[in-house]
Each structure stands twice: as C-alpha cells, then as structure tokens.
Amino acid sequence: MKTVLITATYMFPFLDRFIPILEQFGLKVIVPEVEERMEADALMAYAGQFDGTICGDDRYTPEVLAACAPRLKVIAKWGTGIDSIDLDAAEKLGIKVLNTPNAFTVPVSESVLAALLCFARNLPWMDDAMKRGEWKKISGHTLSESTVGVIGVGNIGKAVLRRVRGFGARLLAYDIVDIAPDFLLENKVETTDLRTLLEQSDYVCLCPSLTPSSRQLINAESLSWMKPSAVLVNASRGPVVEEAALIEALQNGRLRGAALDVFEFEPLPKDSPLLKMDNVLLSPHNTNSSPYFWERVHWNSIRNLLMGLDIPVGDIESLKKLEK
C-alpha cells in the first residue's frame, strides 16, 4: 500500500472530504500536526515513510529529499510557489514536483489593489481615529494622481497592472525577462530599469517569484532610491525584501509606509518592530484567501499527487464525482 503525507494546512479543514477519496485509490494517509509549514527537521522524522505528499511551503532541502528517496516519487505543491523545494536535488533523485500554475492570481492582485487604495484614501487611519472618538479628516489622493511600479510581471504582476490601469495611474514595470509588447501597449505600461522605477513610483508592488536574483532585491541601497512619500507593497515572498533595512527605513521616515503579507520569517515573530508601526498594514500570508480558488487548488493538488504516483486518473470533474 502506498502512503501519502498531507501537510498543506489549507486542506486540513476539508480532510474529511478528501481522505476518503484518496483511500478509494488504495492510499494510506498520514496527517501530522502543522502550524504554518514543516521545517526540514520535522520532515526528517517522516523520511522514508511516504511515497507522495501534498505540501505547503515545507522545507524540502537536498538533505530532506535524499532522506526521503528513493521511496518519495512526487511532491504535489498546494498552490503555485515552489521556492521552498530544492528543484535541482529533486530532479537528480527522480522526484516529480508538481504545482498549480496561476492558482491565486485574482485574489492576490485584488489584495494588492486593496492595499493601494487603503494608503491612497487613508481609510484605515481615519477608521482608527473615528473609533478613538476623533472627527479627523486625513487628506488623501487618487491613484490617477500616482505612479505605480510593478516589479515582476508574471501572471500576478500583469493582473495588478490591468487592475490599476482602470484607475488612471501611470504604470511602470520592471522584470529581468522581456515583457510581451502587446501587453505593454494594451495597458499603457512603461518598462524601465529597477532604479528608475523605484525613484519615480509612489507605490512599488512586488510580484516576482523568489529566485537567487530576486532574493533581497529590496535592500538598504534600493530602498534609498525610493521617494520618502512612497509605499512598498509585498504580496510575493518575504525574502524578496531585506526586512531589517525596510524596518529602519520606515522608522526613520525614509519611507511613508508598507503593506506586507509575507515576511522573512513566518509566522512573523511576536517581537517584530513591524507589529508596532502605525504606517504598516500587515496580513498573515493570506492574500490568496478565496474559497473558490482554494477549492480549485485542493482538487488539482489531489490530481497532481495521483498522477505523480502513476495512478490512472481523469480530469478534475471526473475526480470530483468520487466525493460521496
């Protein structure tokens, strides 16, 4: 009997639906206790015990993968990002890594837009003042008066630019790969180098994948290029930003504010200075929040797991019919 390890916490509330389906394919299911993700040492405790996994941002280092091989055949990543998995090591060991491309483009891009509007219109701060008994009118501005820069123009970056275009903002974009000319023309997007984008943008939206070239792309030097009145929005990956440098810039008035959904260390440590800053909007790595899109990813992850184990399976609709 093949055994699978499920550590994707977004699936936990629904396992009473999905475990019976996996059991119909003759699979034994192991579900460990997981708070946010499984670190390497926690995964080591299960090495050699499972043939496939549906995981979140678990730390599949070369050492973990080697310990799990040769039994481990497939890692079905819940969602899109696979930066927590050493892909080179997985390939060398013959372990398939499958994900759901374009999984959360809509909810993440809408969350970025919400952050822009909160800062542009000062809504959270007026709400806070009102609840303190203050009739305080805080001056705002419109996005049509602003320049919005997007770093990383993949699916999410494109979706952010499309949405912000409707508000009449000037749009700047930077990526290390070429951006389709038709997209740029259709959405009136100007491409530029990183420094120019940071110098000219009122809002900087981070949308890259986490790669060696994007790790700490926003650091003390690049933060110094930004306007003191600018706002940084990060809904990509925490390590894209050098967090200590960002905290210093926010504390010293070098940056107006930030909206952060992701952090260098998650959960965010309880002693983080970010938690005490009134010019920062925080959320707990949750911009993907959407029952509709979660459901899509649940089913696609199950299908990826089965395919990776060489178990015959049809499309997602046929798989759904197995739910009793």
State the residue for tokens 């990543």: 77
How many Cβ atoms from other residues are within 10 Å of residue 161's Cβ? Answer: 26
> What is d(CA 304, CA 95) in angstroms, rounded to the nearest whole number?
13
Which active-site residues does the annotation give?
237, 266, 285
Domain boundary assignment for the chain: 2-103+290-320, 105-282
> What is d(CA 119, CA 109) in angstroms, rounded to the nearest whole number?
16
The pLDDT-based confidence of 107 (bands split at 50, 70, 90) is very high
How big is the chain, counted in residues?
Answer: 324
Q: How does pLDDT run across 19-77, given as a tens digit for each residue? A: 999 999 999 999 999 999 999 999 999 999 999 999 999 999 999 999 999 999 999 99
Q: How does pLDDT run across 269-322, given as a tens digit for each residue? A: 999 999 999 999 999 999 999 999 999 999 999 999 999 999 999 999 999 999
Mean pLDDT across 119-143 = 97
The pLDDT of residue 109: 98
**Going along the chain, which residue ranges are E strands?**
2-6, 27-30, 52-55, 74-77, 96-98, 147-151, 170-174, 189-191, 203-206, 231-234, 257-260, 280-282
What is the DSSP-derived secondary structure letter of residue 191?
E
Distance of CA 254 to the CA centre of its chain: 26
> What is d(CA 284, CA 277) in angstroms, rounded to the nearest whole number?
16
Q: State which fold the 105-282 domain adopts.
A: Rossmann fold (3.40.50)
Mean pLDDT across 231-258 = 98
User: What value does the mean pLDDT of the chain take?
Assistant: 97
In CATH, what number does 2-103+290-320 get?
Answer: 3.40.50.720
> What is d(CA 234, CA 208) in angstroms, rounded to the nearest whole number?
10
Mean pLDDT across 211-218 = 97
> What is d(CA 238, CA 261) in angstroms, rounded to the nearest whole number?
8
- Quick check: 240 pLDDT over 90? yes
Bridge partners (DSSP) listed for residue 218: 241
In sequence order, the 6+-apart residues with CB closer than 8 A to the CB of 287 are 104, 107, 108, 111, 112, 235, 261
Q: What is the CA radius of gyration of the chain?
A: 22
How many Cβ atoms from other residues are within 10 Å of residue 155's Cβ? Answer: 18
**Strand, coil or helix: 305:** helix
- Report residue 220: phi and psi, to 5°: -60, -40
pTM value is: 0.94
Mean pLDDT across 119-124 = 98
Directed axis angle between helix 291-308 and helix 15-24, to 10°? 20
Mean pLDDT across 132-155 = 98
